[in-house]
């Protein structure tokens, strides 16, 4: 089947152009490296701080209930896509190796300006 065509063979025509808020933004890939942030202009002229790369994570230890900053060594596993782990890409749900041990990322680093993680107990 030809895409963009009716069953009769006629073309579908676009009703209107996309609005500015309907455009897709460039994919933001957060990697392990020196801390690098960027400010994006969002709706109403506000600024959203996003990460480009980082080597620091805010790690929560459930036993003590305290949050400590730890250095990220490596990305061990990414359940959503195994190829992201090979490239050291930080995404939500990824398991990272830190100074304190293995931790799972709980936030979306590409949307926020930091990496939050919870320490895994079975080490």
Other C-beta atoms closer than 10 Å to the C-beta of 98 total: 21
Q: Is residue 2 part of a domain?
A: no
Number of domains in the chain: 1
Q: Which three-class secondary structure state does DSSP give residue 85?
A: helix
Q: Over the stretch 7-57, which tens digit does the pLDDT of each residue have?
A: 898 999 889 999 988 999 888 999 999 999 999 988 899 999 999 999 999
What does residue 54 show for φ and ψ, rounded to 5 degrees? -160, 160
Domain of 106 in residue numbering reads as: 28-119
Q: Is residue 12 part of a domain?
A: no
Q: Is residue 40 part of a domain?
A: yes
Judge whether residue 1 has pLDDT over 60: no
pLDDT of residue 91: 96
Q: Is residue 21 part of a domain?
A: no
* Selection from 112, 105, 79 nearest residue 120 by Cα: 105
Q: Is residue 98 part of a domain?
A: yes
Judge whether residue 70 has pLDDT over 70: yes
Q: Is residue 9 part of a domain?
A: no
- CATH classification at residue 85: 3.10.290.70
In which band, very low, low, confident or very high, does the pLDDT at 3 lie, cut at 50, 70 and 90? Answer: confident
Q: Is residue 6 part of a domain?
A: no
């Amino acid at each position: 089947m030809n895409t963009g065509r009716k069953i009769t063979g006629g073309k579908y025509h676009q009703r209107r152009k996309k609005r500015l808020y309907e455009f897709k933004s460039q994919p933001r890939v957060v990697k392990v490296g020196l801390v690098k942030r960027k400010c994006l202009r969002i709706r109403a002229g506000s600024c959203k701080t996003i990460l480009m790369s980082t080597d620091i994570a805010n790690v929560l230890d459930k036993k003590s209930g305290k949050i400590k900053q730890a250095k990220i060594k490596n990305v061990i596993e990414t359940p959503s896509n195994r190829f992201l782990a090979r490239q050291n890409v930080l995404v939500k749900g990824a398991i990272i190796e830190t100074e304190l041990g293995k931790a799972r990322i709980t936030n979306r680093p590409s949307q926020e300006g930091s990496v939050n993680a919870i320490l895994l107990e079975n080490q």
